[in-house]
Chain A
């Protein structure tokens, strides 16, 4: 009897069971709700981004027109020094500055992750980055603890439960109901029959999870024009397959342990609790102890002190700044120093003091993130969560990439405006058009794959080891009594 025929019989039996339909309805309804929640959140982000871009376009146009008139010598309107589009210092600090936007990724509706507590936009400015690019102060504690309901969560937490609910009594149930004796009186390899019983059930759960993903993709309007999106979607499905294989392996091992159906249900629930809840919590607790979060409040206080100290020693700050910028002195024609240059000097002095502290702060955060990343290998659930979030563009890595790209852009922006402030050049319409713009560069799918591969490989190996263990035990478990 072919494996496929056995699967067909199993499905016939399963189809008539209420449990299956309860599972389908529950999983489907929860999944669709989660997908709609992800879609709502993403739509909100897109709306915010559209509004920001529109507001910026309007400001940019009106300032551009004003600049054109002023440049042409129109003096009919008085322009405040703080709103003068000709001043590189004023524009550099943020007058009509563009937004640096981290757009939702193609598969964004599938996972929210920490997107709701991470900034996805900032306005360019020459000010010290830490004063306006703040990434973890608007935390909603409830959301931080529970996370938002999204499809990634449903796959991470509920999908294993569906697999376990469908498979926990595949062997013990047959033994307890007495059908196993009739099955095993037939000339078949018990491992093949029982393997088919388990596989039929696990494949159903897998089909449910994959089906749910496709329905979610279709309903939430993910655009499928880009082959890169297809690649990510394929990887998403691969993650579901590997994670499912892991739970199938666990179920197979427990089924092979020859326990009663009730005992195997309890064992599998314990495994679920351990892998999905306890291990991740332990990992988080350990990381918090070994790599505590550096205090952002302390950092802000230190910055304030450094700024005050620099203001108190304004002459010193100015002197050392001018030493570093001899060209400015060469042009100096005496008189009071440009207040914009003084402010640059003060900022520079404060940042010099703060530079090692910023570096230490970032290093501590990076060390924490790296520790968390290596602790992922404790639990396939953590590996899977990271993979799903990464694929939907809601992961840590994408946010870090955004921060790094922002840093580069920030430096470029400062350079553009500081150099013009120092050389006392007012902005021309040509300059205005040359103002640097930010565009987030998405990580390539191959780089993403390289990051996901070790975790997925580990999960797959675990799955195969468990399945092999289970397969060995199935013959013994097949004993009818």
Chain B
């Protein structure tokens, strides 16, 4: 196939009663791309991401990962996918290494050795001391790093990020986007819902603006400046 995005939405539609959460959403994210979904709360960004996780079944249309329909093969499609929600909730009584061991074992079916786990955590930006601390006391930024480590341990090439940096301080946010750049450089396809227009322009390769379940605009970030992106966004929100 000439054009085969790692992540693809084809006419994704989901209704809850009279509310349309997703209205025939089409999008594709290729390897090495960071696609940022912008939009007000309730615009359908999370619903779109949840369709790729099979947390939400679309009424019509389909979500595809690597060419497979998620609803048809939810377990298979999750093999190459990593999910980082707004807050990566972990088992507070376990250390970062133990949490990673659990999720990596769930993800790969085999139990990774401790040096490998440590390597991933350190790559994600935690120190060796932090790796053995209970995550109950972890800050949000540290939890996101464990989330990245899970993606690394899993060897995921599809990342679904649901407002991963909201509430992070600028330094943590900066670190997170650094990691994102690294994953992207390794060929990951990233779909990220965010409210951070600045980060969307900086880290994203493309942005899509959503409103009431529909994609109302899509553009490449290298074609537009920071101020123009904000202008465009606000324009859509006012309509």
Residue contact A178 to B91, C-beta cutoff 8 Å: no
User: Would you call B152 an interface residue if the criterion is a C-beta within 8 Å of the partner chain's C-beta atoms?
Assistant: no
A13-B91, A186-B107, A188-B106 known; A181 vs B55 contact (CB < 8 Å)? yes
Residue contact A189 to B75, C-beta cutoff 8 Å: yes
Within the complex, the shortest CB–CB distance from B62 to chain A, in Å, comes to 19
User: Would you call A371 an interface residue if the criterion is a C-beta within 8 Å of the partner chain's C-beta atoms?
Assistant: no
Residue of B nearest to A178 (CB): B89
Q: When the two chains form the complex, which single residue of B76, B93, B102, B150 contacts A187, counting CB atoms closer than 8 Å? A: B76
Within the complex, the shortest CB–CB distance from A172 to chain B, in Å, comes to 14
User: Would you call A479 an interface residue if the criterion is a C-beta within 8 Å of the partner chain's C-beta atoms?
Assistant: yes
- Count of B interface residues, CB-CB < 8 Å: 31
Residue contact B83 to A479, C-beta cutoff 8 Å: no
User: Would you call A77 an interface residue if the criterion is a C-beta within 8 Å of the partner chain's C-beta atoms?
Assistant: no
Residue contact B111 to A186, C-beta cutoff 8 Å: no
Within the complex, the shortest CB–CB distance from B44 to chain A, in Å, comes to 15
Residues of A contacting B89 with CB < 8 Å? 177-179, 181-182
Residues of B contacting A235 with CB < 8 Å? none
> Which A residues between 286 and 345 are near B, CB-CB below 8 angstroms?
none
Residue contact B75 to A181, C-beta cutoff 8 Å: no
A12-B94, A187-B76, A189-B75 known; A182 vs B103 contact (CB < 8 Å)? yes
Cα separation A188 to B106 with both chains bound (whole Å): 7
User: Would you call A481 an interface residue if the criterion is a C-beta within 8 Å of the partner chain's C-beta atoms?
Assistant: yes
Residue of A nearest to B53 (CB): A185
A237-251, CB under 8 A of B: which get 1 and which 0? 000000000000000
Residue contact A16 to B55, C-beta cutoff 8 Å: no
Residue of B nearest to A188 (CB): B106
Contact-size category for A = 20 to 34
User: Would you call A1 an interface residue if the criterion is a C-beta within 8 Å of the partner chain's C-beta atoms?
Assistant: yes
Residue contact B83 to A187, C-beta cutoff 8 Å: no
User: Would you call B105 an interface residue if the criterion is a C-beta within 8 Å of the partner chain's C-beta atoms?
Assistant: yes
Residues of A contacting B76 with CB < 8 Å? 187
Residues of A contacting B78 with CB < 8 Å? 185-188
Residues of A contacting B147 with CB < 8 Å? 182
Q: When the two chains form the complex, which single residue of B55, B93, B105, B109 contacts A184, counting CB atoms closer than 8 Å? A: B55
User: Would you call A5 an interface residue if the criterion is a C-beta within 8 Å of the partner chain's C-beta atoms?
Assistant: yes
Residues of B contacting A17 with CB < 8 Å? 93
Within the complex, the shortest CB–CB distance from A45 to chain B, in Å, comes to 47
User: Would you call B27 an interface residue if the criterion is a C-beta within 8 Å of the partner chain's C-beta atoms?
Assistant: no
A217-254, CB under 8 A of B: which get 1 and which 0? 00000000000000000000000000000000000000
B128-166, CB under 8 A of A: which get 1 and which 0? 000000000000000000010010001000001000000
Within the complex, the shortest CB–CB distance from A90 to chain B, in Å, comes to 78
Residue contact B55 to A13, C-beta cutoff 8 Å: no
Can you list 5 A-B pairs with a CB-CB distance of less than 8 A? A177-B89, A182-B150, A183-B103, A188-B75, A481-B55
With contacts A9-B102, A186-B107 known, what are 17 further pairs, Cβ within 8 A? A12-B98, A177-B89, A179-B91, A181-B83, A181-B89, A182-B83, A182-B150, A183-B106, A184-B55, A185-B78, A185-B83, A186-B106, A187-B75, A188-B106, A189-B75, A193-B106, A481-B55
List the interface of chain B (C-beta within 8 A of A). 50, 53, 55, 75-79, 81-83, 85, 87-91, 93-94, 98, 102-103, 105-107, 109, 111, 147, 150, 154, 160
Give the top 8 A-B pairs by smallest Cβ distance, nearest first: A178-B89, A16-B93, A185-B83, A187-B78, A186-B106, A187-B79, A186-B107, A187-B75
